[in-house]
């Protein structure tokens, strides 16, 4: 039997594109499902242009591919269940359902994986906010549909309750205690259904709730870094993980608290393309194919800067002045404000001297 597979990727954005590039290096063929025929993946794969909930298009993809995977978690899990054959989606639809809904996700993390999350409660209407102790701070998050800070309300005083009540009455929510973290970190872990491999701990700096800069290794103690990696491995093992998963966490002075999981390669893992011996996309493809997974080594301390629509010119100028920095552009046709257009990875063990494009510094 040929070891060359046809891999179907649901979603043709930058994550799908970088998965496809890894798959192509390994000799596989890729077909992408995306609503836009000119999506980033169209540069490297055939595209079936159809909405994600188009069951006929999903069936066509399933019929033509050996293995299916997805680049984002808001895939129609029921639609997928209706068309996939046994074992064709190694990541499974259960993981999709967990990561699509913060209530399921919190329940999975705290009760099944038994890792530490911020104290939380499920909120079904504003009545559930009536008796909260306002000596503490909270974040109210809608259970579904939120991303990059959308669908969230921080509660620090009674004045925030009007907006919080409106949010709570508009959708099911979780109310989390606010974590006074030192750093936001994340860990990429990949599985092949049996074994897992884990990447170094990443430190993440957000601007306007969008990832702006990732520093690797994160500037936390070895003890906390080992703990963060052990938590990611524990979650992966509980899931019998296939493919790549990102675990986002908060690091406090002496603890690691899990915030959320993303069942796919993640923006904070892009540095791995150059800085590690295998990227998070390579291990994703190996993992969903059930292939043996390598131990991951970090070659050099790295910094990744996101290039948003408003940063494209600055980033292009930056790499002409710093030719050892790696510029990745995803091939998006329109550079909208805050749209992720690309990223830059460079090797540096002085991360504070690597200035984000969004910081208004002249390059």
Residues that bind ligand AMP (CB under 6 A): 118, 139, 146, 149, 176, 178-179, 184, 206, 209, 248, 259-260
* Shorter beta-carbon distance to ligand AMP: residue 117 or 341: 117
Which parts of the chain are beta strand (E)? Answer: 6-10, 29-34, 46-49, 67-70, 120-123, 138-142, 152-155, 173-177, 183-192, 196-207, 210-216, 242-251, 256-262, 302-308, 326-329, 340-347
Taking CB atoms, the residue at the shortest distance from ligand AMP is: 179
* Shorter beta-carbon distance to ligand AMP: residue 76 or 248: 248
Can you tell me the distance from the alpha carbon of 331 to that of 320, in angstroms, rounded to the nearest whole number?
19
**Number of neighbours of residue 14 by Cβ within 10 angstroms:** 24
Closest distance between ligand AMP and the C-beta of residue 181, in Å?
6
Pair 256, 63: CB distance under 8 Å:
no
* Shorter beta-carbon distance to ligand AMP: residue 21 or 168: 168
Closest distance between ligand AMP and the C-beta of residue 71, in Å?
18
How many residues can be counted in the chain?
Answer: 363
Can you tell me the distance from the alpha carbon of 254 to that of 19, in angstroms, rounded to the nearest whole number?
35
Closest distance between ligand AMP and the C-beta of residue 179, in Å?
4
**Residue appearing with tokens 């594109």:** 17
Closest distance between ligand AMP and the C-beta of residue 180, in Å?
7
* Shorter beta-carbon distance to ligand AMP: residue 59 or 121: 121
Closest distance between ligand AMP and the C-beta of residue 331, in Å?
27
Q: Between helices 14-25 and 280-288, what is the axis angle to 10°?
A: 70
* Shorter beta-carbon distance to ligand AMP: residue 44 or 179: 179
């Amino acid at each position: 039997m040929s070891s060359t597979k046809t891999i179907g990727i649901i979603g043709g954005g930058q994550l799908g594109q970088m998965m496809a590039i890894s798959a192509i290096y390994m000799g596989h063929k890729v077909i992408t499902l995306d609503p836009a025929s000119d999506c980033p993946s169209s540069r490297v794969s055939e595209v079936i242009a159809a909405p994600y909930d188009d069951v006929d298009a999903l069936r066509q993809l399933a019929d033509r591919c050996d293995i299916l995977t997805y680049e984002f978690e808001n895939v129609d899990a029921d639609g997928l269940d209706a068309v996939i054959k046994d074992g064709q989606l190694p990541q499974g639809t259960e993981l999709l359902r967990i990561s699509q809904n913060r209530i399921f996700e919190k329940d999975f993390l705290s009760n099944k994986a038994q890792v530490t999350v911020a104290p939380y409660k499920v909120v079904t209407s504003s009545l559930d906010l009536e008796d909260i102790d306002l000596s503490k701070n909270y974040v109210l998050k809608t259970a579904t549909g939120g991303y990059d800070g959308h669908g969230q309300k921080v509660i620090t005083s009674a004045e925030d309750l009007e907006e919080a009540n409106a949010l709570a009455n508009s959708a099911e929510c979780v109310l989390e205690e606010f974590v006074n973290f030192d750093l936001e970190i994340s860990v990429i872990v990949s599985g092949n259904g049996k074994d897992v491999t884990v990447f170094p701990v990443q430190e993440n700096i957000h601007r306007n709730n969008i990832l702006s800069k990732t520093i690797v290794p994160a500037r936390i103690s070895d003890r906390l870094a080992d703990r963060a990696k052990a938590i990611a491995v524990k979650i992966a093992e509980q899931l019998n993980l296939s493919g790549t998963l990102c675990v986002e966490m908060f690091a406090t002075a002496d603890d690691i608290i899990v915030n959320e999981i993303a069942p796919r390669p993640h923006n904070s893992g892009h540095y791995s393309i150059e800085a590690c011996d295998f990227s998070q996309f390579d291990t994703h493809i190996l993992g969903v194919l059930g292939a043996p997974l390598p131990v991951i080594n970090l070659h050099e301390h790295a910094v990744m800067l996101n290039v948003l629509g408003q940063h494209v010119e600055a980033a292009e100028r930056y790499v002409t002045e710093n030719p050892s920095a790696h510029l990745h552009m995803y091939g998006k046709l329109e550079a909208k404000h805050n749209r992720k257009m690309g990223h830059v990875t460079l090797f540096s063990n002085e991360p504070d001297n690597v200035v984000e494009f969004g910081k208004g510094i002249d390059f």
